[in-house]
Amino acid sequence: MLLLVGLNRNRDVDGMAQIICADYPDPVYMALAIEAQKSWRTGPIFKPFYHECGMLFAEDLNMGRLSYANYKKLGEESLSGELMTPEEARERFPIFQDANWADAEYNYYNPHSGWGEGEEAMRSVLHAALDVGVTFIEATVQKLLLDSDRSCLGVAILKNGQPQDILADRTLLCTGAYTAKILADTAPEWDELQVDRRMVAAAAVQCTATYPLDQEEKLLKAPVHFIGIWHTHGESIPPFIGRLKFNCEVSFVNMTHHEGLGKDISIPPAPQSQSTFSQDVPDGLKEEVANVVRNTYGSHVPGIKIEKYRMCWDAVSPNQDFVIDYHPHCKNLVIAGAGSFHGWKFLPNIGKYIVQRVYGTLEESLAKKWAWDRPNDGAGACEMYIPTPDVKDLGPFKGWPRPGEALPVVD
């Protein structure tokens, strides 16, 4: 078996930490995440990179309540978190005594959640694959190779600047935010091949931050923290090797003219500095994530300094369901993507479902849910991440609107 991956431009050693929790409004993803968490806790490939520090929500999105109900529905009450008032939460987690939870309806705490070390976990999976005989090539896919009947023959890659064709009986494209571009570059005139509205490349801003050493003891007691209230949309991950990581949960697109298609599609910006940790991020985004930092620890943890920023790209489907399916018009091509800002935690088990789809054994309800063509209805798995603005239109950050208010006008 050949495993072909590119340089993961979303990945960087700095602060590459991802939340791992099963608290979902959709019981299907909850069950899937419970399964993944078993591997995170016990699997030798994953366990060294998993930190189960708990996760505290402060929100008005009903996520905690829905999750609480879903654990019951699935008969998994022992894995559920608990609902509490903000006063109770501050008493229990004094690290958040100055967090801005204004207008939070309630807090929800799940001790069974945590976070994973992205870079190291990926490396561990890769080594495990190499150990069982997978061949790994690091290269950039230029386009798919198509036969005269338009079935997929493999990929054309560029490796160390040299073009090369790689032929395969079956080609599995797991290229995240770049999927639409690869299909467009392959055959722009072929409408049925294109991604269209099935998923869109979108990003959210993240940052890493340092803190004074004398604050570490306090910070090490922090769980993962999520604020989903009108004034703040973001998450923080507790310290690791002297760094904190924060995400802002408001996403955006980068509409770019594709010559071949003759229209705009969202494509991550070409400069590497715009998808790795750097300072190359619009000021408005820097201010958005600074709002998350400020409203998480407030003055209770003085001296937190933002270090670097990153626009982190993913492919998002309209209802945040994944896409795992054969392409209906391009024989031998399988697409697995639309992680929709919540896909990483499934690193231990999503491959099993992809293989089931490849061999036609995937349970029918999942095959329908993750189909290339589908109605895209049902509850969103990660609704707050649906992208709206274009990164090029972002002005100074003027705060988020209250529910029912329009977005502040951009200068």
Ligand X SMILES: Cc1cc2nc3c(=O)[nH]c(=O)nc-3n(C[C@H](O)[C@H](O)[C@H](O)COP(=O)(O)OP(=O)(O)OC[C@H]3O[C@@H](n4cnc5c(N)ncnc54)[C@H](O)[C@@H]3O)c2cc1C
18 binds ligand X, rule: CB under 6 A: yes
**Nearer to ligand X (CB atom), residue 344 or residue 370:** 344
Residue in the structure block whose two tokens are 């270090």: 307
Pairing mode, strands 114-117 and 106-110: unpaired
DSSP H/E element including 154: strand 152-159
Strand partners, 55: 110, 224
125 binds ligand X, rule: CB under 6 A: no
174 binds ligand X, rule: CB under 6 A: yes
Contact 81, 67 (CB under 8 A): yes
**Nearer to ligand X (CB atom), residue 57 or residue 215:** 57
Site string for ligand X, 178-207 (x = CB under 6 A): x---x--------------------xx-x-
Q: What is the CA radius of gyration of the chain?
A: 21
Strand partners, 206: 247, 310
**Alpha helical stretches, state H, 190-260:** 216-219
102 binds ligand X, rule: CB under 6 A: no
- Minimum Å gap between C-beta 155 and ligand X is 8
The number of beta carbons lying within 10 Å of the beta carbon of residue 406 is 6
7 binds ligand X, rule: CB under 6 A: yes
DSSP H/E element including 245: strand 243-248
- Minimum Å gap between C-beta 140 and ligand X is 4
344 binds ligand X, rule: CB under 6 A: yes
39 binds ligand X, rule: CB under 6 A: no
312 binds ligand X, rule: CB under 6 A: yes
Contact stretch for ligand X (CB under 6 A) within 159-167, 254-262, 339-347, 402-410:
339-347
**Nearer to ligand X (CB atom), residue 18 or residue 194:** 18
Contact stretch for ligand X (CB under 6 A) within 3-11, 125-133, 326-334, 399-407:
3-11
292 binds ligand X, rule: CB under 6 A: no
**Nearer to ligand X (CB atom), residue 54 or residue 339:** 339
Of the candidates 19, 30, 63, 324, which one interacts with ligand X according to CB under 6 A? Answer: 19
342 binds ligand X, rule: CB under 6 A: yes
10 binds ligand X, rule: CB under 6 A: yes
Distance of CA 330 to the CA centre of its chain: 27
- According to DSSP, residue 61 is labeled S
Contact 265, 180 (CB under 8 A): yes
When CB distances to ligand X are compared, the closest residue is 339
107 binds ligand X, rule: CB under 6 A: no
212 to 192, 218, 242, 293: CA distances (angstroms): 55, 11, 9, 15
CA distance 353 to 362: 7
Most distant CA atoms of the chain, gap in Å:
67
269 binds ligand X, rule: CB under 6 A: no
DSSP SS3 for 272 = helix
What is the dihedral angle through the alpha carbons of 203, 14, 380, 89, rounded to the nearest 10 degrees? -130
**Nearer to ligand X (CB atom), residue 19 or residue 371:** 19
314 binds ligand X, rule: CB under 6 A: yes
16 binds ligand X, rule: CB under 6 A: no
- Minimum Å gap between C-beta 376 and ligand X is 17
337 binds ligand X, rule: CB under 6 A: yes
**Which amino acid appears at position 108 of this protein?**
Y
Number of residues that bind ligand X (CB under 6 A): 30
- Minimum Å gap between C-beta 85 and ligand X is 26
Extract the runs of DSSP E, i.e. beta strands, from 317-364. 323-326, 333-337
Distance of CA 296 to the CA centre of its chain: 21
Contact 246, 240 (CB under 8 A): no
Pairing mode, strands 333-337 and 323-326: antiparallel
239 binds ligand X, rule: CB under 6 A: no
**Nearer to ligand X (CB atom), residue 79 or residue 86:** 79
**Nearer to ligand X (CB atom), residue 194 or residue 247:** 247
Question: Which residues here bind ligand X, judged by CB under 6 A?
Answer: 5-10, 18-19, 140-141, 174-178, 182, 203-204, 206, 247, 312-314, 337, 339, 341-345
